[in-house]
Amino acid sequence: MSQATNQSWGGRFSEPTDAFVARFTASVNFDQRLARQDIQGSIAHATMLARVGVLTEEERDAIINGLTDIQDEIERGEFNWSVPLEDVHMNIEARLTDKIGITGKKLHTGRSRNDQVATDIRLFMRDEIDVIEAELTRLRDGMIELAEREADTIMPGFTHLQTAQPVTFGHHLLAWQEMLARDHERLLDCRKRVNVMPLGAAALAGTTYPIDRHVTADLLGFDRPAENSLDAVSDRDFAIEFTSFASILLMHLSRMSEELVLWTSAQFNFIDLPDRFCTGSSIMPQKKNPDVPELVRGKTGRVYGHLMALLTLMKSQPLAYNKDNQEDKEPLFDAVDTVRDCLKAFADMVPAIEPKKESMYEAARRGFSTATDLADYLVRKGVAFRDAHEIVGLSVAYGLKTKKDLSEMTLEELQQFSDIIEQDVFEVLTLEGSVAARNHIGGTAPDQVRAAANRAREALAALKGAS
């Protein structure tokens, strides 16, 4: 066999791989990130092989000790990664053989790089999902706490980005929290399907060796071995599902970012973000730019792209494994990194938001935000809703002409549109009265907001306990 061919498969070949093709097909530059999981899987595999008698205890111990030493080399930055060895798996196996001799070549008994890489990716994804879940929990905790603190802080609610009805800042934050609660459930549900072990499927058809896949699954913390060997090595649904979760999450964070960018502007002036989450301008000394939410908003597109890349990658692949699947790692790795970083940024930033309560309150007073409350008031007095709608519309038109909010009009001014209106109307035309009147579950009344925050906190605690 030519010294220039790969030692793991070169026996069938009569000439070395073209140098460009070797670089083109190699994945070690990015899949070395799976080294820890690859070693973890190999240690479990060797342990199982010894338990079923394929390896001796001495061979098992030599392999495990050698792999442990290699892990230390990698962590110290002393490991020499080789492109001709193609990938993380062959680099580690070759180094193991260098260290312990022929016994290192026995490690690959009963497995293939196909089931090995599928196992590595699942172990990696499980680890990363746990980190992401912790950041998501931290963000939700901070958001709930801020919402509870701002349950009485009145601000305008919007539809079509036009002032609609008054709400509270706490109520608005809990709307964000509901988005994240759904994301959290999706993430944990995805983890269940990640935590299935492909190892033992070998190349595609299993192995003739007397392996015990349940032992390996237990050693690696998987819920169960994969049922079908063909599917086990070729399935990347879990990666697509994660990037789907990531896309929905980033869509939510992008919506939040858009509001934060608007709210920090001079035109809204609703909130202040601490300086540590902003940057300045190289030419305009007065500028304070909300770079963190802008970047989160911008990074959403790349995650959408990774979802489409993985869907497209898998759409035409026949069973079982194909080299195409090497292209799953870079989009998946970047999606993981982007999600983790965006969540960390938000988990640090959101609890530090400082609402400008006077600006919020004044904005809620503009735009006739209590018009619906006046219509409801008339309906309770026996006026048909369509008639009440017209009466209030005429009142608003009058307010636009006189530049008066409904709450600023005198009783006599209001009564020119309906003599049913009485002095008690002013109880519903105030912003405080408006938010307090929606005193039902999911409503804006401050007590309901605090109760909703408490329920959200309990639900989050239950979710943490279940996971």
Catalytic residue chosen out of the listed positions 2, 82, 265, 281: 281
Length of the chain: 467
Beta bridge partners of 162: 159
Told to judge if 160 belongs to the known catalytic residues of this protein, a careful annotator would answer: yes
Q: What is the DSSP string of 269-317?
A: --EE--GGG-B--SS-TT--B-HHHHHHHHHHHHHHHHHHHHHHHHTTP
Within 8 A by CB and 6+ apart from 458, the residues are none
Q: Is residue 89 a contact partner of residue 329, using CB atoms and an 8 Å limit? A: no
Q: Is residue 421 a contact partner of residue 411, using CB atoms and an 8 Å limit? A: yes
Catalytic residue chosen out of the listed positions 160, 282, 316, 440: 160
Instruction: Give the tokens for residue 70.
Output: 């290699």
Which ranges of 26-102 does DSSP label H, i.e. alpha helix? 28-31, 35-51, 57-75, 88-100
Told to judge if 184 belongs to the known catalytic residues of this protein, a careful annotator would answer: no
Q: Is residue 360 a contact partner of residue 156, using CB atoms and an 8 Å limit? A: yes
- Give the long-range contacts of residues 439-444, CB within 8 A, separation 24 or more: 444/157, 444/166, 444/167, 444/168, 444/171
Residue with tokens 């699942």: 122
Q: What is each CA distance from 161 to 156, 157, 293, 343, in whole angstroms?
A: 10, 9, 19, 26
Beta strands at 354-355 and 271-272: parallel, antiparallel or unpaired: antiparallel
Give the residue numbers marked as catalytic. 160, 281
